[in-house]
Structure 1
């Protein structure tokens, strides 16, 4: 039973929604849980359980329009992710999952809703269209934790991204048909109205996107106004299309995002950051509002038939859709099975389903109010199920990397080759990339994986599985390029995981850069030239195992001349070391440091004590901790 509480004023309600939504996402990040689950639980706690927040009571008539605009921005973000040049070898599979899978998924979901959940054909058809959508915002973090192979990961991600707007469009079509039939219009009038509305929305979205691209490319809009102009144009296109055909604004903004994504604009980085920040805020708000708006009666309607519906979707509708879509394709059977058993639903499903559930109820469809609760139940069940099963399933089918997260090194040199060889001996995955083919000769000769090309190029997105590498080291002979790479990849990999050799003249005020540019320094602040000089003078790497008997303090006392480079934690996580004072390590960790020639020039010892790329050497007396 909900606790009765006095109503909140709209400003307080907005503040509470923002704090709880963003707070839930932050807590999910800290606990490494799907954010959608915590946001759902928070909304239910605030609304039906405690009665603290009731959107209809506290915000009033603005709730519906706010949710509609938020969904529009979320779908625009999905459209802006559709860069068609990045499909790679997953293009054929994604095409099948969209062209064949979307209609088949609509049909299968509608049947499951009608026969398993007991919805009317009207509600089942509208909600079935929405269920084409999976969940790119949910799938991305799941793929990160499962460390899936590139092609099945691309298939899952692109299916979710492309089907987001298609699911919304299917819901629009079904909903308009329901309205037309209830209004008693003829089939010809209905088709004419739908065709005109959809065509107008598509043309308007294309024109808005093309206009933005033209204005930005020609410099017609100053940099500081690009995001505001984009946002205002988005809202205007949504509102204009919605005036012609109800909910067709969702199609307009999706097409607009698609056009902008493929316009190759130089300002795409800023625009992507805008959409990412806006989406985080709006997703939080939509989830809290929709969950808090559920009534006790709606939650009570989730009976055994709702559970039967979820089972039918997970075990029948989804597998049937994927297996039929990929029949006789070049996608291996293991990947087909993995895709068939993986279909988490996410933000767009809940947001659009909640929106259309309200619309159906307002139109007089008796069970329209059940759409929202069923959507929440499906999202919660699939996110929890796949959150725990995706990684084990991928490993069982041989589609997940069994290696620990590795190191991506940008720049081939003596220093990086020796470091890579040392990590390879410690069974840490290493990839060396360089736009200069000659710089990769030494890494290849040492058996390291290499990628010839610019790590920032589109070709690298198709060839390099960044998800397999948890740490980046920018260490070319070009300080400016190192800074560019570290700055560009930091948002994707995390700033704490991006490191860079010190810039040659960074200690001078005229050359020092702001903290937000570049990666984090390490190795006592040695520059590329200094590290290469040490390697030419005979310095070598040594990996040292820390134990309860041989601690960091022992290592420091024994190695006063060593330059600490990085630490490999027992979990496999890599952490570069800024200087000797910051050296830490627990039993089971491994320290990798540079040693001078005099520390590595004694006679050889029988076995075990090795240096990266240099073979066995002596270090008498040899402690048991000093092992590769």
Structure 2
């Protein structure tokens, strides 16, 4: 066991973030790594048991974390995303959820052997997927926008619905099995649910109004929202258990659709907090399991239940509910397969296991085992298969890392052409139709619009592009673009090209150099320089490094005016040159540079000379041979 609670808290955080890093480093599902890590330090090696160690604080910590995670997910649910997706999302969240409840309850009764009462409670709960498991999978698999948005909306909307269905089923059971049935409790449930939704809407509108009117200073906005989320959740949950999830979801959706710029600024902070919470909660939940629970998980009735839920109940509910919604067969197959259960299912099932057992339903004691079995198997199966299946169904954007270039000019058009030759996705974005002629003439993919506008966010699919290059003639705009998209692309994947020569001595531009994105290529090479060099005959040149021709020799051979642009790894990965670049090209890498034409002429001339010399040598050899034979 760990020596202290402080050490245990540190270990939970370290293991959670370490699992996330391992998953990122080796391209594995993060939730699988976290689950296995929690099992290793908990029931297998017995290093910790957070549920026992934290005592009465364990459940409140889990509940608050789930509320914050669900709110952050709802904060991404803008109704503008539903263009063309409203019908399938609505049908899956209503008809699909109802079918999954009924079918899941029947399966729980006939296969898992649960009583009707317990089966209908757990059947309602198991319709949930949730942002804790869906978001990491979407981040890993790089699905096309349409199926990705459907899975995201379903996960966040159905999370509170599943918890409420379980509560509703329990209230119905309590009503029907009572000696003197009284509908007061049932009416209280409906009233509490309506109140929770209205409370979330009111808190969302209230905090949004305070942001817009300046009643909350910038430095307090994120902490204020953080506390208000907990307040909103607690008030609703104290009135009726599990309605707090509905309340924070309503609050998040309300804020997301108010069009407040501050919300977008806070979203990155919320995402960071959510990743930390998801990591910690998964470690805590799995580490708190008993070894008996793990062994019981492999019993025939539980395995049979899990398999039917994965291969029959989920696909059937999706296929029936999406009839006439316009989804393709491939999309239905993918959405019908991907339904991992997560934190909400684990936390709520433990609550119902206790109250159902107290109510006299002895079969409720296997709920924790049943829930973890469904969570673990779905997380592993869907986590490892989502990438493979999405590729097979042609619903994945996976491929060589792409580049999104902001600013159309002669250089960016030629750069895009070279990337296309390397079979790397590329697109040029510019608000000027006239400037886009450089891209249009050469058949380069382009988007006509303002990169920083809200419309572009909903119309331009940025999933295929891992790098962003801001290469307009306005350095301040380049810096603004880089600052805006740095949280999305990462600090090492955002670049800006230097401005015009005449701006270099301007103090403002010197300051801008230090803001956001790394300077692409070299500090002294501006957009104007690059375009001028192309006009004077410079060409894009590829050089492959070999065992005999190494990078050091290449640097010695190149002309001083050569601009090193990027190099391509044998795997297809692209590394752009920057003064802050730490990577060095190796054997097998292909270096792409902007080189003067004289260098190319010399190269061609040397090749011709070598061929001519070889031809003369061969001719002399043949003549001697013929003479000898004569």
Q: TM-score, normalised by structure 2?
A: 0.89
- Within the alignment, does 1:98 sit opposite 2:93 as a pair? yes
SS at match of 1:89: coil
Go from structure 1 to structure 2 and tell me whether the alpha carbon gap of 1:529 and 1:165 turns closer, same or farther (over 3 Å shift): farther
Aligned to 1:524: 522
CA contact (8 A) 2:157 2:249 kept: no
Give the direction of change, closer, same or farther, for the CA distance of 1:313–1:580 in structure 2 (3 Å limit). Answer: closer
Q: How far, CA to CA, are the matches of 2:398 and 2:58 in structure 1?
A: 47
Q: CA separation of 1:591/1:283 partners in 2, compared to 1, >3 Å: closer, same or farther?
A: same
For the residue of structure 2 that corresponds to 1:594, the secondary structure is strand
- Corresponding position of 2:470: 474
- The corresponding residue for 1:554 is 553
Match of residue 275 from structure 1: 270
Q: Distance in 2 between matches of 1:193 and 1:623?
A: 92
Contact 2:189–2:240 under 8 Å retained in 1: yes
2:97–2:127 Cα contact (<8 Å) kept: yes
| Aligned equivalent of 2:281 | 286
SS of equivalent residue, structure 2 residue 423: coil
**Residue 560 (structure 1) shift:** 2.8
Tell me if the contact between 2:29 and 2:140 (Cα under 8 Å) persists in the aligned partners. no
Partner of 1:612: none
Once residues 546 and 181 of structure 2 are traced to their aligned partners in structure 1, the CA distance between those partners, rounded to angstroms, is 81
**SS at 1:59's partner residue?**
helix
Q: Which has the larger radius of gyration?
A: 2
Provide Cα deviations, 1:288-343, integer angstroms capped at 9, x if missing partner.
Answer: 22212212332232112221112101110111011101112321222222222332
Deviation (angstroms), 1:137: 4.2
Task: State whether structure 2 residue 446 is matched by structure 1 residue 450.
Answer: yes
Matches within 5 A, 1:36-51: 36-51=31-46
Q: Contact conserved, 1:64 with 1:355, CA < 8 A, in 2?
A: no
Q: 1-side partners of 2:462 and 2:529: how far apart?
A: 29
Please identify, of 535-544 and 578-587, the stretch whose mean Cα deviation from structure 2 is larger. 578-587
How many angstroms does 1:427 deviate by?
Answer: 1.9
Give 3-state SS (helix, strand or coil) of 2:495's partner. Answer: strand
* Contact 2:42/2:288, CA 8 A, preserved across alignment: yes
* 8 Å Cα contact 1:9/1:59 also seen in 2: no
Secondary structure of the 1:438 match is coil
Three-state SS of the structure 2 residue aligned to 1:523 is: coil
Residue number in structure 1 paired with 2:204? 209
Q: What is the alpha-carbon distance in structure 2 between the residues aligned to residue 180 and residue 93 of structure 1?
A: 34
Kept after mapping to 2: 8 A contact 1:361/1:368 = yes
2: CA distance, partners of 1:272 / 1:468: 22
8 Å contact from structure 1 (residues 17, 288) kept in 2:
yes
Do the aligned partners of residues 518 and 575 (structure 1) sit closer, same or farther apart at CA in structure 2, a change above 3 Å counting? Answer: same
Check if 1:434 corresponds to 2:430: yes
- Quick check: 1:506–1:513 contact (8 Å CA) kept in 2? no
Counting only pairs closer than 5 Å after superposition, residues 7-86 of structure 1 correspond to structure 2 as 9-86=4-81
Q: CA deviation at 1:25?
A: 2.1
Q: What SS does structure 1 have at the residue aligned with 2:593?
A: strand
Between 249-258 and 180-189, report the one with greater CA deviation.
180-189
Counterpart position of 1:378: 374
Residues 433-481 of structure 1 show CA distances to partners (whole Å, capped at 9, x for unaligned) of 1111211111111110001112333333333222211211111112122
Q: Residues 130 and 520 of structure 1: is their aligned pair in 2 closer, same or farther, counting only changes over 3 Å?
A: farther
CA contact (8 A) 1:152 1:335 kept: yes
SS of the aligned residue for 1:466 comes to coil
Residue deviations 1:586-620, cap 9 Å, x none?
333221111124224579x7xxxxxxxxxxxx885
Quote the residue 2:625 is aligned against: none
Equivalent in the alignment of 2:626 = none
Tell me the secondary structure at the aligned position of residue 592 of structure 1: strand
* Conserved? CA contact 2:65–2:281, under 8 Å: yes
Instruction: Tell me, yes or no, if the aligned pair for 1:422 and 1:543 is still in contact at 8 Å.
Output: no
Corresponding residue for residue 387 of structure 1: 383
Q: Distance in 1 between matches of 2:134 and 2:110?
A: 28
Q: Does 1:163 align with 2:163?
A: no
| Partner Cα distance (1:182, 1:246) in 2 | 21
Which residue in the other structure is 2:617 paired with?
none
Alpha-carbon separation, structure 2, partners of 1:353 and 1:623: 78
Q: Name 2:588's counterpart in structure 1.
A: 588
The 3-state SS of whatever aligns with 2:345 is helix
| Structure 1: runs of 5 or more not aligned | 606-617
Q: CA deviation at 1:583?
A: 6.9
Residues 512-552 of structure 1: per-residue CA shift (max 9 Å, x gap): 44898421122122222222232233322112233333332
Give the structure 2 partner of residue 610 of structure 1: none
Cα shift at 1:107: 1.6
Shift of 1:420: 0.7
- Once residues 546 and 388 of structure 2 are traced to their aligned partners in structure 1, the CA distance between those partners, rounded to angstroms, is 31
Matches within 5 A, 1:396-545: 396-401=392-397, 403-503=399-499, 511-513=509-511, 517-525=515-523, 526-545=525-544
Deviations 1:372-414 (A, max 9, x none): 3323222222232223322332333333347422211111111
Q: In the alignment, does 2:297 pair up with 1:298? A: no
Counterpart contact for 2:479–2:515, Cα < 8 Å = yes
Say if 1:495 and 1:118 are closer, same or farther in 2 by CA, change over 3 A: farther
SS state of the match for residue 110, structure 1?
Answer: helix
Look up the SS of the partner of 2:522 in the other structure.
helix
Output the CA distance in 1 between the equivalents of 2:219 and 2:495. 30
- 307-316 or 100-109, which moves further after superposition? 100-109
Q: CA deviation at 1:511?
A: 4.1
In structure 2, the CA distance between the partners of 1:446 and 1:15, relative to structure 1 (3 Å rule), is same
Q: CA deviation at 1:421?
A: 1.0
SS in 1 for 2:473: coil
Change (3 A) 1:495 1:124: farther
Going from structure 1 to structure 2, the CA distance change for 1:579 and 1:127 (only over 3 Å counts) comes to same
Worse-superposed segment, 581-590 or 309-318: 581-590
RMSD: 2.8
Whole-angstrom CA distance in 1 between matches of 2:381 and 2:431: 42
Instruction: Render the CA deviation track for 1:151-191: whole Å, top value 9, x for unaligned.
Output: 22322232223322322332332344455556656352233
Summarize the Cα distance change of 1:558–1:443 in structure 2 as closer, same or farther, 3 Å threshold. same
Asked if 2 retains the 8 angstrom alpha-carbon contact of 1:76 and 1:256, the reply is yes
CA distance in 2, matches of 1:8, 1:130: 37
| TM-score normalised by structure 1 residue count | 0.89
